[in-house]
Amino acid sequence: MQVIEVGGLLRELIVGLVAQGDAGEAEYYEALVGLALLELRRARRSQLKIPLPDESDRRLMNLCQAVMAAPSLEIPFEQHAQNAGASVRTLARLFKDSLGMGFAEWRRQVQLATAVAALIQGVAVSVIARELGYSPSSFSDMFRRELGVAPSQFSAT
């Protein structure tokens, strides 16, 4: 999975494409699609790397889907393992073997992607931090350490 920063023009092009649908003028629709593709090529890619598991192990897939649906810090790994029907050790091994990173690092990448999306939408840093299970200061520290910029400055970069 790759995270792309969607700027104002690209966002409006997407909204326009969705609003027009198949009912619009074909030439205009094609022009919007062409411009949207140009904007996508120019869009800034994030440093975030969120590998997703293949579907060969449902336990790992179910855990990843659960974390992406609710990426807060509140659910311990042991509880995730129990919910998945696997031992902590087995699940930790699956993360390393299948995703190339440990659970904590993977969840942090999911949290950062969630935070970046919320920041771009204008959600306050303190709200994002609380929703992800952090205090505002610890969230800001983690965000700055991982992405090199404070969350309050992210959408301005």
The 3 state secondary structure assigned to the chain is: CCCECCCHHHHHHHHHHHHHHHHCCHHHHHHHHHHHHHHHHHCCECCCCCCCCCCCCHHHHHHHHHHHHCCCCCCCHHHHHHHHCCCHHHHHHHHHHHHCCCHHHHHHHHHHHHHHHHHHCCCCHHHHHHHCCCCHHHHHHHHHHHHCCCHHHHCCC
**Cα–Cα distance for residue pair 56/41, rounded to 1 Å:** 32
Confidence category of residue 134, pLDDT binned at 50, 70, 90:
very high
Cβ contact 46:113 at 8 Å: yes
Q: What is the pTM of this model?
A: 0.70
- CA distances 8 to 16, 47, 105, Å, are 12, 20, 31
- At 30-78, the pLDDT tens digits run 888 899 888 888 876 666 778 888 888 888 998 999 899 989 878 889 9
Confidence category of residue 88, pLDDT binned at 50, 70, 90:
very high
User: What fold does the segment set 52-157 form as a domain?
Assistant: Arc Repressor Mutant, subunit A (1.10.10)
- At 1-10, the pLDDT tens digits run 556 667 778 8
**Cα–Cα distance for residue pair 68/60, rounded to 1 Å:** 12
What pLDDT was estimated at residue 155? 58
How is the chain split into domains, by residue range?
8-42, 52-157
Cβ contact 81:87 at 8 Å: yes
Confidence category of residue 138, pLDDT binned at 50, 70, 90:
very high
Residue 152 reports pLDDT greater than 80: yes
**Cα–Cα distance for residue pair 130/127, rounded to 1 Å:** 5
Residue 157 reports pLDDT greater than 70: no
